[in-house]
Amino acid sequence: MGLPRTAAAAALPALALTASALAGCTASSSASIADQKTITVGVKADQPGLSLKGTGGTYRGFEVDAGTYIARKMGATKVEYATVTSENRESLLNKHKVDIVLASYSITAERAKLVTFGGPYYLAHQDIMVRVGENRIHQAHDLAGRRMCQASGSVSTSRVVSGLGIPAVTVPSPSYSACYQMLLDGRVDAVSTGDMVLAGFAAEGRSKVKVVGAPFSDERYGVGLRKGDIDGCEGVNKAITEMYQDGTASRLLRKWFGASGVHLVESVPEFEGCG
């Protein structure tokens, strides 16, 4: 039985409102950062060379400069920054607290289930940092039985212990800046992660710590975006390509890491693809 004419007429505004609300939800959930004029870049606050937050609240480092370049190339007229950690990168992206993340964010299959990755924007290599004067650790296998710092939310330690089967003694830490301090204090024997992260700390404490220069794996640093933002991912990849082609990437890498002694990769990394 159909609705009476008056009831049907009354139902039309409600149906229209419902359809409008659903359309709004669909548009919101599928919105891309490619359409935004303000982009908030998530960066770390405690990694010298990559991203360090100063006492005045200003962020400085390679990932800050690269994030600015990418956002501007995508059409953003305003670029803001917010602090992320290895533990909360995914949640802050999905809660729309940040729009893209450049935070030594290694691309892994597990992480790719939660976010869409643009890039990578740099191909780092996992290495080892020790105190100056340490003569027992020259390569990854020398970490067996040694105290190695395990930064919360990072996959670097598992590459040593699980990936290579090296029985290092892992010592938990909230971050790599804390790992660096633990190394200086003698509470751990080594810190192992991407050479860009280590290079920044080594430059800060050049008379106290050193990078051994024995890379043993690749770390593809990607730009994290909200899951499914294909347009945003393609825009990020286009911007990264231009950053390397116009010489900006080389200039920034030399600016922040030229004095570190770490081998710098100045060619465009092979992209993962946005599909």
More confident position, 8 or 179: 179
**Nearest-angstrom CA–CA distance, 106 and 234:** 18
- Looking at residue 17, what is its pLDDT? 39
39, 152: one domain = no
How many domains does one find in the chain?
2
Cα separation, 10 vs 65, whole angstroms: 56
The model's pLDDT over 30-56, given as tens digits with 9 standing for 90+, comes to 589 998 999 999 999 999 999 999 988
Judged against a pLDDT cut of 60, whether residue 26 lies above it is answered with no
Residue 30 is predicted with a pLDDT of 53
pLDDT of residue 16: 42
Q: Facing residues of 47 across strands?
A: 51
Tens digits of residue pLDDT in 232-259: 999 999 999 999 999 999 999 999 988 7
Instruction: Say if residue 185 is in the same domain as residue 147.
Output: yes
Assess contact for 155 and 108: CB atoms under 8 A.
yes
Residue 130 belongs to domain with CATH number: 3.40.190.10
Identify whether the C-beta of residue 99 lies closer than 8 Å to the C-beta of residue 92.
Answer: no
Which H/E stretch holds residue 47?
strand 46-47
Q: pLDDT at position 15, please? A: 38
- 144 and 78 part of one domain: no
Same domain, 103 and 68: yes
Asked if 190 and 113 sit in the same domain, the reply is: no
Full domain range(s) for residue 173: 125-217
Q: Which of 12-21, 95-104, 195-204 has the lowest mean pLDDT?
A: 12-21
Tell whether 95 and 65 lie within a shared domain.
yes
Determine the residue type at 98.
Answer: V
Helix (H) or strand (E) holding 158: helix 156-158
> Are 252 and 172 part of one and the same domain?
no
Q: What are φ and ψ of residue 248, in 5° steps?
A: -65, -45
- Same domain for 118 and 231: yes
